[in-house]
Structure 1
């Protein structure tokens, strides 16, 4: 049973991000930890009650930025990541004045986001030592 919902349990979201980004992908703590968690909407995905994924949403004017998206290795390939992004989009559509969603996708995940309706924009760039491209979805 999958449950994805907004949460105030930022500590669990940070622990998931630490596992995936810092421990698995080698992102530095300085690149992962910032001061935006306090102003963000956090989504937490649970399978049979166990936390397995998260995403962070920031509203910036008419744009909802989806970031810090991660799913633990044991839950990848199950459709959980797509469900997490769909929930993020639903949450952003509920935010007053938001007309588009934006994210910075690791280049290996471009196809994943394209299948969810996003379009890549702009050139490839490095973020935390990992190649990314910006992607946008208009509501």
Structure 2
């Protein structure tokens, strides 16, 4: 496997790749209703695209309030540190923008992944799109 490159994506130019990844992961695999996956925040968010040998394999987004979300990696690339690379890029960009706290809504099964990146659970478990989630917070050291 080649090194994973993460770059800031252009919502317009990279839209087909961003949509393909998120639809595959959230809508097809996790049965998230499409109307819950796409929202008005997409147009103003900073989007990240992870590429392996130029092929888009993962995505995430950062909102202006420091909320990181829509972290998704295609099945064949899971376990290859793509999620780590996406999250590190999002955290770095948030801090570059002066956002010293980052928040996210994590699926419960993914909390250990986010905890390794410095996030702490700050809520009780709740359902979002029919899946168990928790709110998490990371503060800049």
TM range (shorter): over 0.9
How far 1:32 moved relative to its partner? 0.5
Contact persistence 2:4–2:85 (CA under 8 A): no
Aligned to 1:81, the other structure's residue is in SS state helix
Number of the residue aligned with 2:28: 23
Determine the structure 2 residue equivalent to 1:83. 85
Q: Which residue, 5, 8, 18 being the options, matches 2:7?
A: 5
Structure 1 unmatched ranges of 5 or more: none
**Inter-partner Cα distance in structure 2 for 1:67 and 1:120:** 15
Structure 2 residue aligned with 1:119: 120
* Equivalent in the alignment of 2:46: 41
Greater share of strand: 1
Alignment gaps of 5+ in structure 2: none
TM-score by length of 1: 0.94
Q: 2-side partners of 1:33 and 1:116: how far apart?
A: 26
1:53-92 equivalence runs, <5 A: 53-60=58-65, 64-92=66-94
Matched-pair contact (CA < 8 Å) for 1:22–1:28? yes
Which runs of structure 1 show a deviation greater than 6 angstroms over 4 or more consecutive aligned residues? none
* RMSD (Å) for aligned C-alpha atoms: 0.8
Cα displacement string for residues 63-117 of structure 1 (whole angstroms, at most 9, x for unaligned residues): x000000000000001111111011100101113x12000000000010110111
TM-score by length of 2: 0.93
Q: Distance in 2 between the 1:89 and 1:116 partners? A: 9
